[in-house]
Structure 1
Amino acid sequence: MKQREQRKFIRYDALHLLDYVVLNENGDTCEYSMGRTMDVSVDGIKLETVYPLKTNTRLLITVGLEDDLVDLEGRTTHASPMKADIYQE
């Protein structure tokens, strides 16, 4: 039996390189790292990172889309290890 989609918005497979900065509760920059998108939707991005991020971590993200750089700000909603040293947020 096919499982019914629970998401509000459709997710599209999209592979784009990105960098991100973790912000602390005061809005100060903490760690910097790189990753990539796995899929995107109107209300979110699935990220692949090499460092685990806690739920509700605030991020400043810069994504490369063709010849442009797009700056985004968001929070992680959940995180899970994919395989050794790779995490999906």
Structure 2
Amino acid sequence: MEEDQKYSGTMERRRSPRIEASILVKYIIYDNKGKALELGKGRTVNLSRHGILLETPKPLNGVFAMLMTIDLDGKDVKMKGRIVHSNMQEATGRYYSGIDFIGPEDQQVAAIVAFVKFYYLNKSKKAIPGLSNDSIVDPK
């Protein structure tokens, strides 16, 4: 089964190849007016130049998402995106949400590079330093 089908039940429609990377992230979900609706944590499944697949314990009910993690230098890495789908995988009871990145492409590429570097250099660590519940401020 194609990976896209496994998580979303749809056929492959990607514009660019994906890199598998399991990275812990925090997220903020926004409505279409920019009002923050929810804070949460998730794990990336894969990412590409155009988007990311995020695994969460509940659906992402909103229009936009801000994903955040910490880079190798301890700096915040933020990615903005539009939520395309959020579907539950019955076998795991977890939700898989496709998010298309928005914003200047050079910023997207820089953030993706930071995500991937962080993943490959820290994949053996169980916890990510600096990514505690207190390290993010509610934007309200």
TM range (shorter): 0.7 to 0.9
Q: CA deviation at 1:7?
A: 2.6
Structure 2: stretches of 5+ with no match in the other structure: 1-11, 98-140
Q: Bigger radius of gyration, 1 or 2?
A: 2
Structure number having the greater strand percentage: 1
Do the aligned residues in 2 keep the contact of 1:20 with 1:59 (CA within 8 Å)? yes
- Of 54, 57, 76 in structure 2, the residue corresponding to residue 50 of structure 1 is 57
Structure 1: state its 5+ residue gaps.
none
Identity %: 30
Check if 1:87 corresponds to 2:95: yes
Would you say the 8 A contact 1:17–1:64 is kept in 2? Answer: no
Higher helix share: 2
Match of 1:21 in 2: 28
1:22 corresponds to which letter in structure 2?
Answer: I
Over the aligned positions, Cα root-mean-square deviation in angstroms equals 1.8
Deviations 1:11-37 (A, max 9, x none): 010111000011122211111000010
Write out the 4+ residue segments of structure 1 that deviate beyond 3 Å after TM superposition: 64-68
Q: Distance in 2 between matches of 1:8 and 1:60?
A: 21
